[in-house]
């Protein structure tokens, strides 16, 4: 368990955050400049907060009042930076072994071999860093951070500098590490799909403060538009299982507790469990089931509640099975349809608008 309660000023920017993270992968999620990197550097010990405390598994790592600030190396955390930060004068094998030079305890060769196999580094061991692609460099950076068997792995936007194919490649490796190593991770990102695919918990950060924290489905699917669209857009997160992928058009069928969804089916396989995020502004409502329309997803549900957002918009929560799907519509549309709690409606969602 990681417990963070810190405050720090960086010029005019004020970080004031309090949150807790359990096991698994916890994402610090927010827009660029929201304070995510400052927070992860405080957790790592690379930045000393002005006040507050940081604890990990009952151990105090920082306490301003008691004058405690455990050095970064003594925290036994692994850290993967956005740009990797490998040593260019060393080959891959030497970069991996660098993590062991300061270790007081011996790392078993079986652990090293497991990492090399999980990250597909075997054919790269003798190559210099300058001869590696961006994706290969990040795999080496991951291996180096994990070689010393850290208690916690910190990742600061490790995919941000990669192009899309390499980003998806490393994302798959991270999913494998999450499954095989069961090591707690703090993952900094501003990308929704990375959080949906990796995280168990999310801490939503804006302007140095925590807006929400909790399980992925609750935070990423929360009705947060009331805090301002520039913060985070509300919607819904649905967990389902891929039942089929049609090779003729690349569309996948995903079943969930409430029905099924059709979405663009790349980067996953049949029987995969995945999360799908539906943005509220992408959901239209109809009182009758439409026919002869291009929209692939038409879900029948019941209106649970209507929440006014200013004078122009309404957030309509529709229960589809055990899932709440949110639709953001205009007040005029609500009046024209005469929407009320308890009414049966049809939620219309384009296949190409789904995040996963």
Query: What domains, with CATH codes, occur in the chain?
Result: 2-219 (3.40.50.300), 235-353 (2.40.50.100)
Contacts of 59 (CB under 8 A, 6+ apart): none
List the chain pLDDT tens, one digit each, 356 residues: 999 999 999 989 999 999 999 889 999 998 888 999 999 999 999 999 999 999 999 999 999 999 999 999 899 999 998 877 888 888 999 988 887 776 655 666 778 888 888 899 989 999 998 888 888 999 999 999 998 889 999 999 999 888 888 888 888 889 888 888 889 999 999 988 899 889 999 999 989 999 889 998 888 876 553 344 444 567 888 899 999 999 999 899 999 998 999 998 877 889 988 888 898 999 999 999 999 999 999 999 999 999 998 899 999 999 999 999 999 999 999 999 999 999 999 999 999 888 76
Round to whole Å and give the CA distance between 333 and 210: 33
pLDDT, position 225: 39
pLDDT, position 229: 40
Residue indicated by tokens 């929407």: 339
Round to whole Å and give the CA distance between 193 and 196: 5
Tell me if 295 sits within 8 A of 283, measured CB to CB: no
pLDDT, position 223: 54
Residue indicated by tokens 């196999």: 117
Contacts of 126 (CB under 8 A, 6+ apart): 91, 92, 93
pLDDT, position 111: 82
pLDDT, position 256: 93
Round to whole Å and give the CA distance between 2 and 59: 9
Provide the pairing of β-strand 77-80 with 152-156: parallel
The end-to-end CA distance of the chain, in Å, is: 28
Residue among 117, 134, 136 nearest 176 (CA): 117
Q: What 8-state DSSP symbol labels residue 64?
A: T
Q: Is the pTM of this model over 0.75?
A: yes
Round to whole Å and give the CA distance between 71 and 86: 21
Q: What 8-state DSSP symbol labels residue 62?
A: E
Contacts of 295 (CB under 8 A, 6+ apart): 284, 348, 349, 350, 351
| Buried b / exposed e along 80-100 (16+ C-beta atoms within 10 A) | bbbebebeeeebbbebbeebe
Q: What share of the chain is helix, strand, coil (3-state, %, to 5)?
A: 25, 40, 35
């Amino acid at each position: 368990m990681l417990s963070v309660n810190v405050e720090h000023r960086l010029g005019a920017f004020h970080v004031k955050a309090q949150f807790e993270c359990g096991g698994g992968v916890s994402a610090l999620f927010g827009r660029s400049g929201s304070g995510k990197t400052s927070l992860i550097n405080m957790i790592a010990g690379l930045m000393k907060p002005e006040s507050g405390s940081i604890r990990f598994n009952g151990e105090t790592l920082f306490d301003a009042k008691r004058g405690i600030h455990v050095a970064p190396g003594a925290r036994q955390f692994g850290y993967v930076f956005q740009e990797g930060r490998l040593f260019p004068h060393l080959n891959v094998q030497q970069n991996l072994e660098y993590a062991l030079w300061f270790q007081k305890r011996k790392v078993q060769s079986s652990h090293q071999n497991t990492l090399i196999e999980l990250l597909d580094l075997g054919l790269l061991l003798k190559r210099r860093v300058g001869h590696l692609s961006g994706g290969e460099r990040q795999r080496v950076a991951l291996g180096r951070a994990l070689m010393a068997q850290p208690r916690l792995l910190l990742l600061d936007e490790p995919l941000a500098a990669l192009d899309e194919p390499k980003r998806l490649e490393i994302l798959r490796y991270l999913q494998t590490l999450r499954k095989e190593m069961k090591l707690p991770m703090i993952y900094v990102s501003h990308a929704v799909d990375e959080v949906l695919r990796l995280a168990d918990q999310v801490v939503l950060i804006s302007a140095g403060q925590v807006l929400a924290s909790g399980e992925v489905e609750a935070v990423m699917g929360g009705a947060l538009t009331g805090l301002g669209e520039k913060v985070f857009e509300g919607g819904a997160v649905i967990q389902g299982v891929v039942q089929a992928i049609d090779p003729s058009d690349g569309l996948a069928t995903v079943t969930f507790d409430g029905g099924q969804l059709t979405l663009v089916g790349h980067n996953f396989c049949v029987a995969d469990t995945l999360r799908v995020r539906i943005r509220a502004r992408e959901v239209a409502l109809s009182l009758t089931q439409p026919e002869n329309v291009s929209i692939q997803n038409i879900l029948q549900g019941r209106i649970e509640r209507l929440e006014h957002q200013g004078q122009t918009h309404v957030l309509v929560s529709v229960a589809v099975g055990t899932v709440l799907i949110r639709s953001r519509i205009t007040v005029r549309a609500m009046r024209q349809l005469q929407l009320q709690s308890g009414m049966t409606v049809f939620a219309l969602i384009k296949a190409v608008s789904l995040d996963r």
